[in-house]
Amino acid sequence: MPGSMSEADVIADLKRSLHDSATAFNAADDADFKRFLSIALAGMQSKRPRTLLGTVSLVAEQDVYTLAVTDFAQYKTHQWGSKPPKPWAPGYPGALPRVTVAQSGSGWQMVFDPAPSWSHISAYGSTFRYWYFGTHSLGSTPDAATLADADRPLLLLRAQAEAMRELTMRNINKPVQLRDGYAGTPRNSTPAALYRELLAEWEAAR
pLDDT 10s digits, 121-160: 999 999 999 999 999 999 999 888 999 999 999 999 999 9
Q: How far apart are CA 185 and CA 151, in angstroms?
A: 35
Identify the pLDDT of residue 173: 65
Identify the pLDDT of residue 178: 38
Three-class SS of the chain: CCCCCEHHHHHHHHHHHHHHHHHHCCCHHHHHHHHHHHHHHHHHHHHCCEEEEEEEECCCCCCEEECCCCCEEEEEEECCCCCCCCCCCCCCCCCCCEEEEEEECCEEEEEEECCCCHHHHHHHCCEEEEEEEECCCCECCHHHCCCCHHHHHHHHHHHHHHHHHHHHHHCCCCCCCCEEHHHCEEHHHHHHHHHHHHHHHHHHCC
pLDDT 10s digits, 84-93: 888 888 888 9
Please provide the average confidence, as pLDDT, over all residues in the chain. 89
Q: What percent of the chain has pLDDT over 70?
A: 90
Identify the pLDDT of residue 183: 43
Identify the pLDDT of residue 176: 42
pTM: 0.83
pLDDT 10s digits, 155-201: 999 999 999 999 988 876 664 443 444 444 445 458 888 999 999 99
